[in-house]
Amino acid sequence: MEPTLKVINALSDPTRYSIYQFVLKKRSEVSVQEVANEFHIHPNVARLHLSKLEDVKVISSELNKTGKGGRPARLYKSSEQVVELSFPHREYKLLSNILLEAINKMKLADAGLLKDIGREYGKRIIENILKNMNKTKDQLTFNEKLSVLASVSTVDGYCIETLETTDKNELDYHVYNCPFRELIHHSADVCEMHVAYIHGLFEALFDDFDINQQETMLHDCSECIYHVKVAKVAKVAN
């Protein structure tokens, strides 16, 4: 309970949480000065925020010894350690590993079934959001649909960045913080299920789209990247 409270307290500060997101999205280590420049704060303030994040183990650091003399700079990066936030502590990871092992041994399910379940779950998430908005997907503009996707990333605990390319009906969908990272090396089926889940998210918002996975953590990449081609959305009538 105490470690959980410490993490909540550390991330409750808006600036500190933004710094954590910044470090998380970086594919390389960041310095105190980089953080200070990014958030327009004094380096001492940046160092304090980074230290508090390291104290609760959501980021880690090491000294950059260049061998050129002088005081080595400390560099920060996102931590590989998973922090569980629940009251009381739940062992969902243990349960997931047990169920995956049981499925693999008993051969009661295959990747096709898991993908179907993931896809339907993704669709259901979006459909519930649209229901709460009292709107259908046809009533949303392209940018509004992207906002719905962003809201799902927050709800699910992902760190997802959506970037439009030069072609307005294409975008890159980045998953920096996969919720199944500790399980994908246990079974590749987990990764396929997650890809199907993302397909379900888009299917519930767009009638015509194509998703191509360009990078995956399953192959030891630092993130998962999906390039998505979406049919242009007609202007929504007022």
DSSP of 109-162, one letter per residue? --HHHHHHHHHHHHHHHHHHHHHHHT--GGGS-HHHHHHHHHHHHHHHT--EEE
Residue 93 near residue 183, CB atoms below 8 Å: yes
Please give the structure tokens belonging to residue 133: 């908005």
Do 48 and 39 form a contact (C-beta atoms < 8 A)? no
pLDDT value of position 238? 47
Per-residue pLDDT of the chain (238 residues; tens, 9 = 90+): 566 677 778 888 889 989 988 888 776 789 999 999 999 999 999 999 999 999 988 888 888 766 565 567 889 988 766 565 555 555 556 666 666 666 666 665 565 777 888 899 889 989 999 999 999 999 998 888 888 888 787 655 566 666 666 666 778 777 777 777 766 665 677 788 888 888 999 999 998 888 888 887 777 767 788 888 887 655 554 4
Strand segments, DSSP code E, in the chain are: 30-31, 59-64, 73-78, 160-164, 170-175, 209-215, 224-230
pLDDT of residue 7: 78
The CA distance from 34 to 42, in Å, is: 11
CA angle 225, 96, 175 (to 5 degrees): 15
With tokens 């005081």, the residue in question is 71
Residue type, 207: D
Beta carbons of 15 and 49 less than 8 angstroms apart: yes
* CA gap 160, 138 in Å, rounded: 24
144 CB-near residues (< 8 Å, 6+ apart): none
Does the pTM exceed 0.75?
no
What are the angstrom distances between the C-alpha of 71 and each of 14, 44, 63, 74, 233?
A: 31, 16, 9, 9, 55
Residue in the block written with tokens 């888009």: 202
- DSSP designation for 217: G
